[in-house]
Amino acid sequence: MAETKRRRPWLAAALALLSPGLGHVYLREWLRAVVWFGLMFAATELLVPVPPMPAEVTVTSVLEASQMAAEQVDAPSRLALFAITALSMADAYWIATRGNRQAATDEGVSCPHCGREVDEDLEFCHWCTTRLEPLE
Does residue 124 lie within any of the structural domains? no
Q: Check residue 100 and report its DSSP letter.
A: H
Distance of CA 80 to the CA centre of its chain: 17
Distance of CA 11 to the CA centre of its chain: 8
| Domain that includes residue 48, residue range | 9-107
Does residue 3 lie within any of the structural domains? no
CA distances from 81 to 36, 44, 45 (A): 12, 8, 11
Does residue 112 lie within any of the structural domains? no
Does residue 127 lie within any of the structural domains? no
Does residue 74 lie within any of the structural domains? yes
Question: Can you name the residues that pair with 117 across neighbouring β-strands?
Answer: 110
Contact 17, 40 (CB under 8 A): no
In this prediction the pTM is 0.70
Number of domains in the chain: 1
Does residue 126 lie within any of the structural domains? no
- pLDDT value for 63: 86
Instruction: Please report, in tens digits, the pLDDT of each residue of the chain (136 residues total).
Output: 344 577 899 999 999 999 999 999 999 999 999 999 999 999 999 998 887 777 788 888 888 888 888 888 999 999 999 999 999 999 999 999 998 887 766 655 677 778 777 777 788 888 888 887 765 5
Does residue 118 lie within any of the structural domains? no
Does residue 134 lie within any of the structural domains? no
